[in-house]
Structure 1
């Protein structure tokens, strides 16, 4: 589409083809704040004129302060927009158009009002493997779609799995393509080398400074599925360096106290995802053929895993608190941390009994 960043002024144009060159203020009215990040705030926006590609008039508008962006951040924003412009999938947050004025960039994206997937799960009174399986299947299908098009997300985590509405528990949207990257060519699985992601979800090959590709997303999904079923993370340490050691060695276990009510098929899916060597880790397309994913609904509906909800609620509270203190890991800070520098900061995973017991048990067995 030919839109590019200029060093001083940034991006120009719109994500929708053929739209008139109207200023942002001529097309949208900004409303209440919906969220905020290190360099931006997301606000409710209402369009004054029709927006190509949708009948909606309400949007989530990401407002980014130009002055807060380094050249590296600017290039990352360009990359995020270029990738989001390409994607039209019902389970991916859509970018409709984007603008700039002298001080700010404005990204007009699809508004979803269902909140985070995990927030919905912890409010349930009953929870079955069928509900978990349906969510996991949607995530795998969506990521298979992206991977087939050479797009790696690189920051899959609970915060980036959103629900479209307050009534539908399965209509998931994958969000935040700030670290997404294109891979192509015969060696696409080893095309990237930047150290980036979020502690606890980052794949071991990234921590080991190895070249990588789409399969880092499979590892992250494996961590998410583990939490979704067991209620706590597979890798836990109060110390960032120790956490990375556990991930690089793949030290985790299915602690009987918390996993005895989870089916072997579900555990096997996780084992297939959390394979240290990415060359032996199956793709999302392959995992869609796994026995747990293809199991009949009646059987999975009868597998009550409500016992995991208490642990998940405790973990979720601590996750949200940590998220309020620590923003997403910038690529340059992740690189420093993996290299052994202290600038990355002291990271604390959920300190609940479940996570501690699980990781201690895994370390003892290994």
Structure 2
């Protein structure tokens, strides 16, 4: 557990990243920049360097708005938890910011699970519990991630006996302040909560809806609100229209369904919090009988692999 006296905030360095880091191969690239593997010259430790082209004003079409990157950095600088990706170093010039981040060698959690022959609910819960601990930490610091989805849940190392989960990508994250409402139409249709679509105030409960969706997919390989089009998906989310189809949930325990039901609730205040999830009997069994049900119930692996393959095609 991270102590309240978290690590000191990362200082912003002027100058070039290459003075202190050797830049290696490109790991990925997006609309606004590139991510490269790098090696810290002083320690030999490998990290991921995220280069973000920044622009000063909204009118410019090049790069990310400077204020947006600064918001992401301000959030990342103060985070120190085993299940949240850490910012290690930070460089800034007039036209670019470079974030030196913990390197995720294990890839995405869903890809890791898709390679398994079999997975019991008990094993799935080990991963889910780590996600919940990371989210609980963020929410205790009044930070809402607002983009929780399989692509943003990574493994630090794949081959560790108990792989460690890391929540990544704080590009949409918000520091929630008392008395200040925050609204935003952002996120990925099948994971966003009704209040996002309705342009209503967002809160930490918005993340809890996404955890409900992720859990549903993890157990069944089905996305609860996915329609033929984005418009249909959004309409399904607004109606809260989902069900536990017998052919996909035949090996799912009642406790797991109850867990999902308490998250996919239209009214944000009625959803379980991350702390409540961690003491729900599915996550933390109250009896031997409950624990036994979890180890006997299993994930629909055949369908989960199909879902994961389709997800890859869309990205």
TM-score by length of 1: 0.77
Question: Residue 36 of structure 2 corresponds to which residue in structure 1?
Answer: 43
Question: Residue 177 of structure 2 corresponds to which residue in structure 1?
Answer: 184
Question: Residue 349 of structure 1 corresponds to which residue in structure 2?
Answer: none
Displacement after TM superposition at 1:102 (Å):
5.2
Residues 318 and 135 of structure 1: CA distance in aligned 2, closer, same or farther (over 3 Å): same
Query: Is 1:23 aligned to residue 13 of structure 2?
Result: no
User: Secondary structure at the residue paired with 2:157?
Assistant: coil
Query: Is 1:266 aligned to residue 260 of structure 2?
Result: no
More strand by share: 2
- Equivalent residues, number: 300
Pick which of 229-238 and 61-70 moved more.
61-70
Displacement after TM superposition at 1:301 (Å):
5.9
Contact 2:127 2:165 in 1 (8 A): yes
Residues 225 and 320 of structure 1: CA distance in aligned 2, closer, same or farther (over 3 Å): same
Aligned equivalents of 1:193, 1:234: Cα separation in 2 = 24
Residue correspondence of structure 1 range 333-348 to structure 2 within 5 A: none
Question: Residue 316 of structure 1 corresponds to which residue in structure 2?
Answer: 308
Aligned equivalents of 2:20, 2:29: Cα separation in 1 = 22
Contact 1:206 1:212 in 2 (8 A): yes
User: Secondary structure at the residue paired with 1:258?
Assistant: helix
TM-score by length of 2: 0.89
Residue correspondence of structure 1 range 1-366 to structure 2 within 5 A: 16-17=10-11, 22-50=15-43, 57-66=45-54, 73-101=65-93, 103-168=95-160, 169-185=162-178, 191-295=181-285, 299=292, 302-306=295-299, 308-323=300-315
Aligned equivalents of 2:61, 2:94: Cα separation in 1 = 13
Aligned equivalents of 1:240, 1:253: Cα separation in 2 = 19
Question: Residue 53 of structure 1 corresponds to which residue in structure 2?
Answer: none
Displacement after TM superposition at 1:21 (Å):
5.2
RMSD: 2.2
User: Secondary structure at the residue paired with 2:275?
Assistant: helix
Query: Which deviations, in whole Å up to 9, do the C-alpha atoms of 1:185-236 show, x marking residues without a partner?
Result: 2x57xx3111111110000011111112110000001000001111121011
Contact 2:13 2:91 in 1 (8 A): no
User: Secondary structure at the residue paired with 2:305?
Assistant: helix
Aligned equivalents of 1:283, 1:271: Cα separation in 2 = 13
Displacement after TM superposition at 1:16 (Å):
2.6
Displacement after TM superposition at 1:71 (Å):
8.4
Pick which of 123-132 and 71-80 moved more.
71-80
Unaligned runs of 5+ in 2: 1-7
Question: Residue 358 of structure 1 corresponds to which residue in structure 2?
Answer: none
Aligned equivalents of 1:22, 1:70: Cα separation in 2 = 22
Query: Which deviations, in whole Å up to 9, do the C-alpha atoms of 1:14-34 show, x marking residues without a partner?
Result: 9534x8755312111111111
Residues 180 and 131 of structure 1: CA distance in aligned 2, closer, same or farther (over 3 Å): same
Displacement after TM superposition at 1:170 (Å):
3.8
User: Secondary structure at the residue paired with 1:246?
Assistant: helix
Aligned equivalents of 1:272, 1:298: Cα separation in 2 = 20
